[in-house]
Structure 1
Amino acid sequence: MIVRRPGRVPYEPTWRAMQDFTTQRDASTPDELWLVEHPPVYTLGQAGKAEHLLHVTDIPLVKIDRGGQITYHGPGQVVGYLLLDLHRRGLKVREMVNLLEQALIDCIADYGLDARRKDGAPGVYIDGAKVAALGLRVKNGCSYHGLSLNVDMDLTPFTWINPCGYSGLQTIQLKDFGVTEGPEDVATRLLVHLQRHFPDVPPT
């Protein structure tokens, strides 16, 4: 799997690049994993409802093609995009979601924290508060979009939305629990777990 770490990049061109990559790939295309940060942006999934944005803000809102409702991306958050050929890996979407959640749980456990899944609410939680979000799109058996993990960021923009469509859902970050590593170091740690759960599968 090819890993790309371009740093802080604008959201919309990155999304379009994921679409283009997925449209143009074939059975000989290696899978890719992109680890990035984004400037402040709200993204609204395909079936997302605009009323989950509770306040008018200067933060751009981008309507996109993943599942799920509204979420926020901003500096200090690790975002991982997994561009995988699920057919080649023998994975179904639910299995991929489980593996993504487990990679996040394992990464967070490295800091001595107990993160868990929540039934019916994709993502990862600590004491019922959300620390990581998931959102995927699968086209022709290939995935794009992925996950976000809150590390050390301004959480205020989450209070201006119903995160992932859930009213009153508390959003937290690793810094709240004494984690001093920044997003780059956390991304490196998360990468190890993602590569373990999604090992290389050579293209045909």
Structure 2
Amino acid sequence: MGEGRPVIPLQTRELGRTDYSDTWRAMQAFNAARSADTPDELWITEHPPVYTLGLNKRDVQPPLRQDIPLVETDRGGKITYHGPGQLIVYFLIDLKRRDLSIRPLVSLMENAVIALLGQYGIAAAARADAPGVYVENRKIASLGLRVRNGCCYHGLSLNIDMDLSPFDAIDPCGYRGLEVTQTRDLGIPADMATLSAQLKTLLLNQLNRL
């Protein structure tokens, strides 16, 4: 953070496993109720199996399986899957207060995941045409945000140790044939708790420099 600028408070909440819709509504309520003095927050969680469809519904095919609920939500992007073993980090950030726009925030999120994977010797990259993080063209992290009143919510998901088969029933993030991967399949031995703590540290370090 620049010299002489006040420190902007940032809190983290470890929520455990939470229902997607309940957490989404809680983010909306937090955003609606916040004031100029409300600390920014990161919410760390995982969800039971759920497909989520963002605001970009163009050419999106419905899931081929009916045993997993589909929630139409207000984040950016198209369709994706969340389930146990996938790390979720939600960003409840006052963008105006941090003089931050969406593209730099997306890059910050992507760079933190890339740095995390790099600590384990895995080369990953972002793509300009499709936000997220990729390892050899297989997607390992997805991003989606919503901005209201100069503040954002929603965030990123990182596949760690999950059943990836539900992705086969959709075009992940709207891309037909897009393959996905996860840290376990890349040979990373660390568990959810370890990777969550490491990613949180990377994110906080970057956010606190703004």
Please confirm whether the aligned pair reaches a TM-score higher than 0.5, indicating the same fold: yes
More helix by share: 1
Match of 1:143 among 118, 142, 152: 152
Find the counterpart in structure 2 of residue 87 from structure 1. 96
Q: Is the 8 A contact 1:76 1:182 kept in 2?
A: no
Off by >4 Å, runs of 4+ in structure 1: none
Match of 1:182 among 177, 180, 191: 191
- Name the % identity: 50
Query: Partners of 1:50 and 1:7 in 2: how far apart?
Result: 34
**How many residue pairs get matched?**
201
Q: Which runs of 5+ in 2 are unaligned?
A: 1-9
Instruction: Report the TM-score when normalising by structure 2.
Output: 0.93
With 102-111 and 147-156 compared, the bigger mean Cα shift is at 102-111
Q: CA deviation at 1:48?
A: 2.1
Q: Is the 8 A contact 2:60 2:79 kept in 1?
A: no
Does 2:195 correspond to 1:155? no
Q: CA deviation at 1:108?
A: 1.1
Query: Partners of 1:82 and 1:90 in 2: how far apart?
Result: 15
Instruction: Report the TM-score when normalising by structure 1.
Output: 0.95
Find the counterpart in structure 2 of residue 75 from structure 1. 84
Query: Partners of 1:23 and 1:135 in 2: how far apart?
Result: 19
AA partner of residue 190 (structure 1): L
SS at match of 2:13: strand
Match of 1:56 among 62, 65, 68: 65
Find the counterpart in structure 2 of residue 22 from structure 1. 31
Deviation string, structure 1 residues 70-101 (Cα, Å, up to 9, x no partner): 00000000000010000111101111111111
Does 2:46 correspond to 1:37? yes
Q: Which runs of 5+ in 1 are unaligned?
A: none
Find the counterpart in structure 2 of residue 165 from structure 1. 174
Find the counterpart in structure 2 of residue 110 from structure 1. 119
Q: CA deviation at 1:9?
A: 0.7
- Pairing of 1:181-200 with structure 2 (within 5 A): 181-199=190-208
Q: Is the 8 A contact 1:105 1:116 kept in 2?
A: yes
The alignment's C-alpha RMSD in Å is 1.3
Query: Partners of 1:51 and 1:120 in 2: how far apart?
Result: 17
Q: CA deviation at 1:57?
A: 2.0
Query: Partners of 1:3 and 1:200 in 2: how far apart?
Result: 16
Q: CA deviation at 1:56?
A: 2.9
With 143-152 and 192-201 compared, the bigger mean Cα shift is at 192-201
SS at match of 1:88: coil
SS at match of 2:96: helix
